Amino acid sequence: MRSDDPDVIEIEGPPPLERSAEMVIDTLSPIVTPERLSRIEDVIRSRTDSLVLVLDRIIDPHNSSAVLRSADAFGVQTVHVIVGERGFRASRGVSKGTHRWLDVIRYEDAEACARRLKKDGYAIYIAAMESNTQPEDLHDTPRLAVVFGNEHRGVSPELRSLADGTFSIPMRGFVESLNVSVAAAIAMQTLARDGRPGLPAERRRELKARFLMNSVKNAAQILEKSRGND
């Protein structure tokens, strides 16, 4: 997919909450249907930050979109992105708006990304065809960041030098590699299988507020009006 396709958008975010999570929840919860509120709460219970994804200068908006959809599907809340020269773009048609439900954290260089991950206690493992380690071997790593690289050049040497190890997706056919979005989906499904530790209470409240903002039409105006009536 061409990066200048009109369906392609630059992915930023998430935007910060302009009101406290408690105010947003108290104001907007009565507006959504009980079914929608239950769905939001179910999704949040299944989210994890013990497994995060790192994308190193991904180019194709189709791949970016497919990876974001998989992250949402498998409960991976946070995607760290090292932005390439073309930015970090996704297709509206492929992503189906899933980026609105995720934390997409952008970096200009690999060192800044690795430094943040290490500070937060993550072990960094890079997808590499030559590795003998498989995703199953990393399943019990308490805090794990899995890295997928550029479609043509792979993961940058800078990030490789800062990683704790590598892993590969097992393959039994003649093909020597997988599309990055397919590989990421397989890895996330394997690593999130049987569930991973959930989010702390404060993080859950933040997500509930954000998800309500995404679910209610004119949410910002409703919150502003509610504050004016206090």
Does pLDDT of 84 surpass 60? Answer: yes
How much is the pLDDT for 195?
Answer: 86
Domain positions in the chain: 8-17+46-201
Does pLDDT of 93 surpass 80? Answer: no
The chain-wide mean pLDDT, for the chain, equals 91
Does pLDDT of 96 surpass 80? Answer: no
pLDDT band per the 50, 70, 90 thresholds, residue 215: very high
Q: For the segment 37-83, what is each residue's pLDDT rounded down to a tens digit?
A: 999 999 999 999 999 999 999 999 999 999 999 999 999 999 999 99
pLDDT (average), residues 76-96: 84
Does pLDDT of 176 surpass 90? Answer: no
Query: How many angstroms from the chain centroid is the CA of residue 41?
Result: 18
Does pLDDT of 179 surpass 60? Answer: yes
Does pLDDT of 15 surpass 90? Answer: no
CB neighbourhood size of 218 (10 A): 9
Architecture of domain 8-17+46-201 in CATH? 3-Layer(aba) Sandwich (3.40)
Q: What's the pTM value of the predicted model, to 2 decimals?
A: 0.92
Instruction: Of 4-13, 109-118, 167-176, 197-206, give the lowest mean pLDDT range.
Output: 4-13
How much is the pLDDT for 85?
Answer: 80
